[in-house]
Structure 1
Amino acid sequence: MRSLIFLFLLSAIFSCNSNSKSSENKLVNADKKDFTKEELLEINREREMVEFKLIEKYIERRGWEMERSGSGLFYSVYDSASTPGPKATEKRVATIEYVVSLLNGDTVYTSEEDGLKEFVIGMDHVENGLHEGITYMRVGDRARFIIPPRLAHGLAGDRKKIPMHSSIVYDVKLVSLK
């Protein structure tokens, strides 16, 4: 198990071209010792910083204006309904049209192929970042969310189309609230 964690962390750090020599040294010597809780937390913080830089570059390349919430969700309501509908709040049932893609541009899920998504805000099993992002919207609004791995599918991915430790991009229209 330790060797799998080591290989994952090593590949994640090197694949992101991190300039942190201290992280590289920790990982290179990882097979010779156990990680302390503090070392694992530091490696995780460094990995999150690398991911946020990748997301910021993605946003910059597209010329999008997005805000970042305290949790780390990047969001933008880019098309407000001409007649503002009710605001999305927890415990309401949201129905959305969506396109989900990866930062490399691959589209992985769409409502056109998979049907509209319906979920109870704050309660059902969808990405935490989607729960949060929807609360910035009103019925009829269109928004984009870039959800970092810890607010999406985490280290495992969704074991279908979303790879391990992937940020995902949601383009969403809030169709209705119940």
Structure 2
Amino acid sequence: MMYLKYTMILLGFLVFGCKTPEARRPVTQNSGSFINESIQRNKKLVAKEEAQILEIVERDSVTEYIPSENGFWYYYNKRSTDSLNINTPEFGDVVEFDYSIKAIDGQDIYAEGELPRKNYAIDKEELFGGLREGIKLMKEGEVVTFIFPSHKAFGYYGDKNKIGTNVPIITKVTLHSITEQTNKNNND
């Protein structure tokens, strides 16, 4: 009798103890409203910054501003007139340049000569998005001024030094040299 009782208890544990685990449900469920609100805030911020930039462009009737396909505006301070100098940097090329940064109101953030001359391998190293795309438009010896909205500059985080959150900037870049990558694929 005792044997039967222990067998029934053991059988009960086996039947009820071997059920598959159930997934736990989250304590709270978000409807996505935070993401939607964030999208709306960012759209307003971009529209505000673009309006500021377009105001600068419209006020300056002397300078010919060029809108880029990448969401920023630029103009040439010094354009290459050398007909043999037709190359712009491509993936892997190393460029040497220096640059200065101003706030959208023209106040210096990093004055000319304050930032060290930089060597940069195109698309192989870190550089903020707008400048990375802007340098690809330049030829050796050119000086170009770019106006970047904050999302093309340092964005939400700033540069953790002098540039704060969501700051559109004006960047003057001098491209000193382009060293072409020696092992480019010639599969054309």
The alignment's TM-score, normalised by the length of structure 1, stands at: 0.73
Q: Once the 2 structures are TM-superposed, how far is the Cα of residue 148 of structure 1 from its aligned partner?
A: 1.2
The alignment's TM-score, normalised by the length of structure 2, stands at: 0.69
Q: What are the ranges of 5 or more consecutive residues in structure 1 without an aligned counterpart?
A: 1-33
Provide the residue aligned with 2:29 in structure 1: none
The structure having more radius of gyration, on CA atoms, is 2
8 Å contact from structure 1 (residues 77, 136) kept in 2: no
For residues 48 and 97 of structure 1, the distance between their equivalents in structure 2, rounded to whole angstroms, comes to 27
User: How high is the sequence identity, in percent, across the aligned residues?
Assistant: 26
Aligned-partner SS, 1:104: coil
Provide the residue aligned with 2:162 in structure 1: 161
Q: What are the ranges of 5 or more consecutive residues in structure 2 without an aligned counterpart?
A: 1-31, 180-188
8 Å contact from structure 2 (residues 100, 115) kept in 1: no
For residues 162 and 73 of structure 2, the distance between their equivalents in structure 1, rounded to whole angstroms, comes to 22
1:79 aligns with 2:78: yes
Aligned residue-pair number: 146
Q: Once the 2 structures are TM-superposed, how far is the Cα of residue 69 of structure 1 from its aligned partner?
A: 2.2
Please list the CA deviations of residues 57-95 of structure 1 after superposition, one character each: whole Å capped at 9, or x if unmatched.
122333332222233121223421232533222221111
Q: Which runs of 4+ in 1 moved over 6 A?
A: none
Q: Once the 2 structures are TM-superposed, how far is the Cα of residue 40 of structure 1 from its aligned partner?
A: 2.1
Higher helix share: 1
1:49 aligns with 2:47: yes
Provide the residue aligned with 2:17 in structure 1: none
Q: Once the 2 structures are TM-superposed, how far is the Cα of residue 49 of structure 1 from its aligned partner?
A: 0.6
Q: Once the 2 structures are TM-superposed, how far is the Cα of residue 55 of structure 1 from its aligned partner?
A: 1.1
1:135 aligns with 2:133: no
Report the CA distance shift for 1:51/1:151 in structure 2 as closer, same or farther (over 3 A). Answer: same
8 Å contact from structure 1 (residues 90, 135) kept in 2: no
Alpha-carbon RMSD: 2.1
Aligned-partner SS, 1:119: strand
Aligned-partner SS, 1:112: coil
